[in-house]
Amino acid sequence: MTQGPLDTLRYETYMQYVLNNHPITKQIEFLDKQDDLYSLKAKSIWDPSISSNLDRKTFDDKTYFNKLDFGGELPTPYAAKGVFSYESNNGVFLNPEQSLPTEGLITAGLALPLIRGLLFDERRRILSEVKLLQELNALKQIEMGNKLLADASKAYIEWQLKSEIVQINRSALQLANQRFEAAKSIYDTGDGPAIDTLEAQIDIIERRAMYEQSVMQKQQSVLQLSLFLWGPENELLTLGESVISEPLKIEQLESFYDELKLQIKKQINDLPQVAIIGNSIQQIELEGKMLKEERKPRLDFKWLPLQWDPSGNGNRFNLQNNNKFNLSFEASIINRKARADLQLNQIEREIQNENLRLLKNQVSNKLASIDLELNFYLENIDLLSENVISTQTLLNAERIKFDIGESSIFLLNSRELKLLDARIKKAKTLAKLIIARVNYLLVGRRLY
């Protein structure tokens, strides 16, 4: 990133580099991959499952029993699920109730919870949870992107400010050099005292020190800025000495700030930092819904009406005679654990609701505080602009007086220092104004 006599790195171009290549943007892309994996996880609840069990006992060259049970489940979008199995049992001492046709028995049917799990269950909780996690990932992406762009913007503004201070100090040093040469020329012709040349030389030393300090601070700002400049191959870019920033402008980021200010009061619930707590509350409510479901007694129904002998013998679809039916019931009498878990969930939800109310107030107050700061800087910039004009007018008048011999190097230098100070104060205030706009956009999450 070097090149030309004076190459301007525009703010928009710089931010595009940050967005395209910074490592944090790559981390944001990983969150997209996480979303895909969450979706894959959610789809897993529809995966069929199979299971098998072999139970065999032999002793004294006799097969006491040989029991094989192979089955599976087919989930549905609702509480019911399809079940199937194949059973094969034989042996000398096999329990009579486990006797089956020689070729075994195939069964298929339906399993359905009648109370707990009928309206809500673990599979439906996972589906809802995955949607919330995807929403949370999207909010985290905005948070990370906004933080990155805010830090990058502040680094650029700092570079702008330090560059402008270098220019101001450079022009002041040039004036001091010109004055020294003029004072020396006057002294050489015998029209001025030697002390004026000494005074002018002291001015050069002081202003050179100020200039070199500002150059050093600019170099530090360039190093800080370079931390946000990355190439497409993950290489850190370095600014060439010929690269300059855009000048500080009072309009910088003004349109973004004005647009956000019109929307922010209506959209405070949509701000990522607020929505993240809202998302957390939804996850707690989802857990509470599951806890309420677990307090219910369990009554599970299983019906396997389709049974047949693979050998082809017998009546395969005689629903009246060939079926298996199972009804199981389970309930906790006191249910202390479930009640305690549910109350803990309610307390956690109330805590998060209080955090949400607190955060909304904090965000509103923060935005109002930045608004006051912005108004102060805008008014101050007007005053400082007038001050620059006034000190420039006084300096011009002092130069006229100096030219006609009614002033001195000391007075002229004093006027120039006041102008120098006024210009630097204006530049610093302008930078603070733009940074305050960045802070407003950061709180409002409108950078990324």
Give the integer Cα–Cα distance in Å for 363 and 376.
20
Give the integer Cα–Cα distance in Å for 248 and 424.
12
Do 272 and 142 form a contact (C-beta atoms < 8 A)? Answer: yes
DSSP state of 97: G
Instruction: Select from 217, 237, 242 the least CA-distant residue to 163.
Output: 217
Residue 378's Cβ-side half-sphere holds a number of Cα atoms within 13 Å equal to 11
Question: What would you measure as the largest C-alpha separation in the chain, in angstroms?
Answer: 136
Give the integer Cα–Cα distance in Å for 180 and 202.
9
Q: Which two tokens stand for residue 77?
A: 């979008």
Residue-level pLDDT at 310: 65
Residue-level pLDDT at 175: 87
List CB contacts of 274: < 8 A, sequence separation 6 or more.
268, 356, 359, 360, 363
What dihedral angle (degrees, nearest 10) is formed by the CA atoms of 388, 390, 392, 398? -150
What dihedral angle (degrees, nearest 10) is formed by the CA atoms of 233, 236, 237, 241? -160
Residue-level pLDDT at 138: 87
Residue-level pLDDT at 162: 94
Residues of the chain with pLDDT under 70: 1-6, 191-192, 258-266, 306, 308-321, 445-448
Give the integer Cα–Cα distance in Å for 158 and 432.
9
Q: Is 80 helix (H, G, I), strand (E, B) or coil?
A: coil
What structural domains and CATH numbers belong to the chain?
Answer: 7-44+123-292+337-443 (1.20.1600.10), 48-78+80-116+298-331 (no CATH)
* 206 burial type by CB count under 10 A (0-12 exposed, 13-18 middle, 19+ buried): middle
Residue-level pLDDT at 5: 46
User: What is the reported pTM?
Assistant: 0.79
DSSP 186-255: HHHTTSS-HHHHHHHHHHHHHHHHHHHHHHHHHHHHHHHHHTT-B-TTSPBP---TTEEEPPP-TTTTHH
**Cβ atoms within 10 Å of 354's Cβ, excluding its own:** 10
